[in-house]
Amino acid sequence: MEITASIGLGLALAVDASVAAFSCGLSSREHRLSCPFKLAAVTGALQGLMPLAGFFAAERFVRYISAWAHWIAFGVFVALGVMFVYNALTETEKTSCCGCAHCAISSWKGIFALGVATSIDALAVGAGLACAGAPADAGTPNLAETIFVPAGIIAGTTFVCVLAAFFATGLFRRLPVKILGCAAGLILIALGVNALL
* HEC secondary structure over 81-94: HHHHHHHHHHCCCC
Minimal CA–CA distance to 157: which of 118, 193, 183?
A: 118
Instruction: Look at residue 99 in the predicted model and tell me its pLDDT.
Output: 43
pLDDT tens column, 79-109: 878 877 887 787 644 444 444 444 546 678 8
**3 state DSSP class of 101:** strand
User: Between residues 144 and 46, which one has the greater pLDDT?
Assistant: 46
Q: Is 176 exposed, middle or buried (0-12, 13-18, 19+ CB in 10 A)?
A: exposed
The total of other beta-carbon atoms located within 10 Å of residue 47's CB is 29
Query: Cα–Cα distances in Å, from 72 out to 58, 65, 159, 175, 187?
Result: 19, 9, 22, 32, 17
pTM of the entire structure?
0.72
Of 3-12, 21-30, 87-96, give the lowest mean pLDDT range: 87-96
Percent of the chain with pLDDT over 70: 76
Mean pLDDT confidence for 126-138: 61
Among residues 153, 144, 156, the alpha carbon closest in space to that of 4 is found at 153
Banded model confidence at residue 8, pLDDT cuts 50, 70, 90: confident
CA 195 to chain centre: 12
- State how far the Cα of 74 lies from the Cα of 63, in Å rounded to an integer: 19
The highest-confidence range among 116-130, 155-169, 179-193, by mean pLDDT, is 155-169
Q: Which residue has the higher pLDDT, 29 or 26?
A: 26
Bigger pLDDT: 29 vs 17: 17
Q: Give pLDDT, residue 161.
A: 93
Statement: residue 3 has pLDDT above 60: yes
How far apart, in whole angstroms, are the C-alpha atoms of residue 170 and residue 187? Answer: 17
Q: At 145, which amino acid appears?
A: E
